[in-house]
Amino acid sequence: MSASPVTVRAVLVTPLLLATAASANGAFETYGADARSRGLAHADVALPSIAAAHTNPGALGLADSELALAVSYTLDLPALEIALAAARAVDDPLAPARPPVVSALNLAATQPVDLVGEDRLFVGAAAYFPTSVLVRARAFDPARPFFAMYDSATEHYDVSVGAGLRLVEWLHLGAGLRLAAGQRGDVQLAVDPVRGRLVQQSMDTFQYPTSAPVAGIVVGPLGVDGVARVSVGAVWREPIAFDVALPATLVIEGADVDAVLDVLVLANYEPRSLTAGAALWAARGLLVDVEAQWAMWSAAPPPMLVTRVDLGGEGLEALGLDATLDAPAPGQDRVRSPGYLDTVVWRLGVEWRVLEPLALRAGYQYRPTPVPDQTSGTNIVDANAHVIALGAGVTMRLPHVFKQPISAEIGYQAQVLEERTATKTNPQDEIGHWAARGVVHALALGWTYRF
Amino acid sequence: MTLRAVALVAVIAAGCGAVGVAAPQVVGAREDTGCPAANDALAHTKAALELPGVRALRPHLERVLVEHGGLRVLIQGLAAMLTDVDQETFAHLRAGLNPEVGLGSLTPHLVEVLRYIDGSSAHVAGAHPEPLAAVHAMLDQCPAPATLSTTRRLLELEVRADPAGAWVLAAPGAGERSWLGAVLDAVRAVASDPVFVAALEDLELEDESEGDGTIRVGRDAFRLLSSILVANLAAPDFDPEAARALLDDALSLRITDPAARAKLDAALDVALLIAEPSADVFPQTQALMGCLNDADEDAAIGGMLYDWLTVDALPLEAFLDDAAETAGVDTATDLRLALVDMLGAVEARPALAGDVTIVLGELLDEEAAPALVSALLAVQGQGALHELLGLVDGVEQCRGLAP
């Protein structure tokens, strides 16, 4: 047989993928930015902190006059379960997803910068690096049950940088950036199906920096030393996500087919938030911090893959199928806004300096869930959570090793989810009723050193 | 005070979370919203593919389409059609092939033809693979462009009635009906006449090739007559009057009943319009006859025609009735013209035309043909064709795009 070449062109297939993965806070916002913060149930907006670049840039104005460094290792152990009324095999594609165990290294530092006078300007940084993956972006089928706030939410790096200004002894302002990255590029493929040959194959992709601004203020501490001092703090954070846009184009020569595959992932979305709180230093080394955080979850995108397939081109036009095979068709879209509600999180942290070198910590946090009742089609799992925290810090002198005292910190949280049930209103719902419960154990071990 | 109350309620509500608030409703992956799922919409087709008769065809399909590269050729052919053929043509093709709408009434008759070939007919004993072998030989040996051209010309050929009421060839678009339809009507009229059938059964013809005065009778005579006619038509010095005289001597003049003779004459008149040297289509006709003469030396196709004309049990009359009725409706006309357009698209590419006929020929070779016929018989009545052809309409209805 002869093998006459065919050269026909046009656009036939245009699949579009818009993927938005886990929309949940990162590790810093979920647990706290360091071991001390974890032990206080993340109630630290009005407190000085080596991790102030994240907790509140305004608190950088309260930083030490020397370089301060904090390093910690964290381990997050989810013990969560989703019990389906109609059980599925473990390897079933729609079996409930299990959040992974995440371990990470936390780094934080503050440093005075004597540009505008001594101890007026401070800079700081806080970073979180999972030990097994740098970034995970995961988007499940809309029907698959998964824990929205714990699945892959904390399995990505988190970096904050900031600067704080001590205007006067009791007024501190700060601003910073939460750093992230985006991924862009494209893939170009062309195939000749008659010859069975790829006639074009190229790729160009790059990561680019993104950021979200953070601004904070701390007023205080005001009061009488040894009696009572109060500080008030507030921090505003803009939303942030990890964007991936990687379109791939496939041209099928001879059949009037072009397939354009647009992959857009808005992974690891964290909402706009405002946190405000107050701290009280009382007698006998007692510190109490209370705060509330409003999180604008209502603006969150769907935490799943949004895909569109557009089939068109001269070939399909000739067959009268130009718009016929597009998906999803009207009314058939399985991805919609999740309908999250804004939430207000309440936090209480207590630190008691029992002895000068020893501090004990405890905290409580009530985290309402932004996820509404799952009644049909989706199974985004989350529940109101009660966070119980414990922690301690010991300051030691090791003169033969360190010139300055070094502190060892430990923090533990149990994030206990209220049992939540889903009663489906649609008898054809693929998953059916379910009940979710469990606890996430979050542990941090670290040390701080002030040079 | 009111503003404070609203703010307080909002804060409390936000503090309580989203428990008790229903999430937006989302359609389930497998939820029935009035349209069948793809698996259900193709259930009959998928089931048909698993039938033993169809599975037996797979090795042959792999040989022809994969090992011999037939799939590439078919893709090229499809690409050519997508380029040259418009949406309306494909719509007419789908409608015409739909067993429920288009050629539906002919399906049982086509099945009878297949049964006749593979020997499973309840009306005629034994298998008769020879006609299919003849078609294979034609695809294999005949110049593809010429074959396609002839097929296309015959499909688009039209006739009109002259002042005397006889059919004459008309220019495309200027005819009253298709030539094919006129032939079917005329054949139906004569084939239903028992006088004609009896004349066929009594047919006698001397086989001059034997040289010993052997007289062929009945089926053998009809086959011989077919061979002679085809050979005459293919000859460069073809004489239409001589050919007509041969037919008259062999058949017409032996029919004493005037009505039956008139029917036969009418059928021959319209059928032989394409054998007039003055006709535009004559060169294609002659080329086709030459090909047939070489490929079907034993006149197997003629033998099949004889069987269908003379075996009472074979539902020829019903076949012709349905065929004539089908040919008269718009769907059939649209199908005919759609096939003309599609053949034209392939015919315009001679090399591709050659390759396509080779592929089709391989699917009808002596290895694959029996399996192909068995597979076609196996899927008959399974609803697969109707399901496939109705898929696009079904999808459009589901999308609300159908008018």
- The residues pairing with A450 across neighbouring beta strands, listed in sequence order, are A68
Residue of B nearest to A335 (CA): B26
Question: Is the CB of A122 inside 8 Å of chain B's CB atoms?
Answer: no
What is A31-182+217-247+270-298+337-450's CATH number, 2.60.40.1180, 3.30.430.20, 2.40.160.60, 1.20.1250.20? 2.40.160.60
- Statement: residue A256 has pLDDT above 70: no
B16 interface with A at CB cutoff 8 Å: yes
A377 interface with B at CB cutoff 8 Å: yes
Query: Which pLDDT belongs to residue A146?
Result: 94
Binary contact (A376, B359; C-beta < 8 A): no
pLDDT at A22 over 60: no
SS (H, E, C) chain A: CCCCCCCCCCCCEEEEEEECCCECCCHHHHHCCCHHHHHCCCCCCCCCCCCHHHHCHHHHHHCCCCCEEEEEEEEEEEEEEEEECCCCCCCCCCCCCCCCCEEEEEEEEEEEECCCCCCCEEEEEEEEEECCCCECCCCECCCCCEECCCCCCCCECEEEEEEEEEEECCEEEEEEEEEEEEEEEEEEEEEECCCCEEEEEEEEEEEEEEEEEEEEEEEEEEEECCCEEEEEEEEEECCEEEEEECCEEEEECCCCEEEEEEEEEEEEEECCEEEEEEEEECHHHEEEEEEEEEECHHHCCCCEEEEEEEECCHHHHHHCCCCCCCECCCCCCCCCCCCCCCEEEEEEEEEEEEECCEEEEEEEEEECCCCCECCCCCCEECCCEEEEEEEEEEEECCCCCCCCCEEEEEEEEEEEEEEEEECCCCCCCCCCCEEEEEEEEEEEEEEEEEC
Q: Tens digits of per-residue pLDDT, A318-376?
A: 666 666 666 777 778 888 889 999 999 999 999 999 988 999 999 999 999 999 999 98
Asked whether the bond before A221 is cis by omega within 30 degrees of 0, the reply is yes
Mutate to test the interface with A, among B12, B19, B389 (most CBs of A within 10 A): B19
Please tell me the predicted confidence (pLDDT) of residue B328: 64
Longest dimension (CA), chain B: 125
Highest mean pLDDT among A280-294, B240-254, B306-320, B359-373: A280-294
In tens, the pLDDT along B26-55 reads 888 888 877 777 788 888 888 888 888 888
Q: Tell me the three state secondary structure of residue B299.
A: coil
Residue B87 to residue A255, Cβ atoms within 8 A: no
Whole-number pLDDT of residue A367: 97
Question: pLDDT over 90 for what percent of chain B?
Answer: 4
How many alpha carbons fall within 13 Å on the CB side of residue B28? 20
CB A371 within 8 A of CB B18: yes
Looking at per-residue confidence, does B331 or A9 come out higher?
B331
Q: Region B309-335: what's the mean pLDDT?
A: 75
For range B387-394, the mean pLDDT = 75
B231 within 8 A of B208, measured Cβ to Cβ: no
User: Nearest CB to B75: which of A193, A346, A377?
Assistant: A193
Please state the φ and ψ torsions of residue A402, each to the nearest 5 degrees: -120, 140
Q: Which residues of B touch A420 (CB under 8 A)?
A: 19
pLDDT at B242 over 80: yes
The domain locations on chain B are: 46-156+324-403, 157-310
CB atoms within 10 A of CB B301: 20
CB contact under 8 A, A1 and B358: yes
- A127, A156, B368 from A104: Cα distances, Å: 10, 9, 65
pLDDT of residue A33: 93
User: Which residues of chain B have a CB within 8 Å of the CB of A426?
Assistant: 25, 28, 31
Residue A255 — very low, low, confident or very high, per pLDDT cuts 50/70/90? low
Residue A20: band (very low, low, confident or very high) from pLDDT cuts 50, 70, 90: very low
Strand partners, A249: A188, A260
The Cα A383–Cα A380 span in angstroms is 10
Query: For residue A239, what are the CA distances in angstroms to A155, A371, B308?
Result: 18, 18, 81
* pLDDT for residue B10 is more than 50: yes
What rounded mean pLDDT belongs to chain B? 83
Q: Tell me the average pLDDT across A300-313.
A: 73
Alpha-carbon gap: B143 to the closest alpha carbon of chain A (Å): 14
Q: What is the pTM of this model?
A: 0.73
Scanning A41-60 for CB atoms below 8 A from B yields none
The CA-to-CA distance between both ends of chain B, in Å, stands at 58
The residue extents of the domains of chain A are: 31-182+217-247+270-298+337-450
Separation between Cα atoms, residue B358 and residue B65, nearest integer Å: 11
Give pLDDT, residue A7: 28
Contact A335, A304 (CB under 8 A): yes
* B358 at A interface, C-beta within 8 A: yes
pLDDT tens track for B69-89: 888 888 888 878 777 877 788
The residue among B329 and A111 whose pLDDT is bigger is A111
Residue in A332, A335, A368 nearest the CB of B16: A368
Q: Are strands A240-245 and B204-207 parallel, antiparallel or unpaired?
A: unpaired
As a whole-number percent, the residues of chain B with pLDDT over 70 amount to: 93
pLDDT in tens, A34-63: 999 999 999 999 999 999 999 999 999 999
| Most trustworthy range by pLDDT among A436-445, B171-180, B228-237, B322-331 | A436-445
| pLDDT for A19 | 35
- Residues in A closer than 8 angstroms to B66, CB to CB, are none
A319/B90 CB distance under 8 A:
yes
- B14 closest CB neighbour out of A330, A343, A371: A343
- What pLDDT score does B96 carry? 76
pLDDT digits (tens, 9 = 90+) for A262-288: 666 667 789 999 999 999 999 888 999
Bridge partners of residue A415, in order along the sequence = A387, A440
- Residues composing chain B: 403
pLDDT digits 0-9 by tens, A410-430? 999 999 999 999 999 988 889
Assess A86–B contact: CB distance below 8 Å, yes or no: no
